[in-house]
Structure 1
Amino acid sequence: MFACQSLSREHDLDRFSCGKEELDTWLRRSALHARSNNTAATFVWCEEGRREVAAYYSFTSLTLEREELPKPMARGGMQRVPAVLLARLALDTRYQGQGLGPVLLVDSFERALTGNEVFAVRFFVMDALDEEAHTFYEKHGFRGIPGSMRLYRKMSDIARTMA
């Protein structure tokens, strides 16, 4: 079983490989620095009693301009719409193919909903790295923003599905 915790210097990042070099490199070189600068918060999965990272995801805040949103999203009168950005989500190749990707995504939903009780946001947003990721998020209820790799879900919809 996995334990989810905030990334710290105690975690072993050296063997992490999700098959996407950009995600691997960011975890090793930038995640702790982003946390210390308060630009992203990273959470890691480790097997119980171990420090080796099996998966991770990172959040940052985002403000969406109403005019950049599809009409159904732009309702509500706000010029700037608060959101949480799931900046990265990755599962080590050793654990891929076991149905853990959706479990990791649900874990990120739960953490975002907890944060939403304190810092209200309207949307949960994801910028897909590639078509494979885009398809994964669409399968899990995200809607694409035309002309981009950005996808979103309303926080209220996530809360309803998690209840």
Structure 2
Amino acid sequence: MFVCQPLRREHRTDTFSCGKEELDAWLRRSALHARANNTAATFVWCEEGSTEVVAYYSFTSMTLEREELPRSLARGGMHKMPAVLLARLALDTRHQGRGLGPVLLVDAFERALTGNEVFAVRFFVVDALDEEAYTFYEKHGFRGIPGSMRLYRKMSDIAKTLA
């Protein structure tokens, strides 16, 4: 069983490897600094009783320009619409292939919905690192923004899905 908690100094990140060096390096070198500067909040999964990180995700805030979105979503909206950006989501290779990726994503959804009760945002956004990630997010209800690797879901749709 995994426990999700905010990343702290005592968490062991040195053995974490998701197969994407960019994601591994960010966790080790930048995640704590980003939290200290309030530019990103990282949450980690550890096995109960352990501090070794086996998965993580990070959030930051952003805005979407009305012009980026399909007309049906942007109609009547502000020029800049508030969103939460799932900046990173990674699972250690030792746990890949066991169906945990979608569980990690749902954990991120639930945490974002909790935050949305205080700081309202309209969209949940991801910038896919590569085609594999893009396909993963599409499979989980995200829609792509043409001409980019950015995908989105409405927070209200996520809330309905998890209800």
The normalised TM-score by structure 2 is: 0.99
CA distance in 2, matches of 1:71, 1:137: 22
Match of 2:43 in 1: 43
Q: CA deviation at 1:68?
A: 2.1
Partner Cα separation in structure 2 for residue 76 and residue 103 of structure 1: 34
CA shift at 1:72, angstroms? 2.1
Please provide the CA RMSD for this pair: 0.6
Match of 2:150 in 1: 150
Q: CA deviation at 1:70?
A: 2.1
Matched, 1:129 2:129: yes
Q: Which residue of 1 aligns with 2:83?
A: 83
**Partner in structure 2 of residue 11 of structure 1:** 11
Tell me the CA shift for residue 71 of structure 1: 1.4
Percentage identity across aligned positions?
85
Query: Matched residues in 1 for 2:73 and 2:14: separation?
Result: 40
Match of residue 114 from structure 1: 114
Equivalent residue letter for 2:23: L
CA deviation string 1:37-91 (max 9, x = no partner): 0000000000000000000000000011112222122123311100000000000
Distance 1:112 1:154 in 2: 12
Residues in 1 aligned to 2:32 and 2:44: alpha-carbon distance in whole angstroms: 12
Q: Secondary structure at the match of 1:157?
A: helix
Residue 98 of structure 2 corresponds to which residue in structure 1?
Answer: 98
Supply the distance in 2 between the matched residues of 1:44 and 1:125 (Cα, whole angstroms).
19
Q: Distance in 1 between matches of 2:117 and 2:76?
A: 20
The one-letter amino acid of 2:39's match is T
Higher alpha-carbon deviation: 69-78 or 35-44: 69-78
Give the counterpart letter for 1:28 in structure 2: R
Distance 1:146 1:65 in 2: 13
Normalised by the size of structure 1, how large is the TM-score? 0.99
Query: How many positions carry a matched residue from both structures?
Result: 163
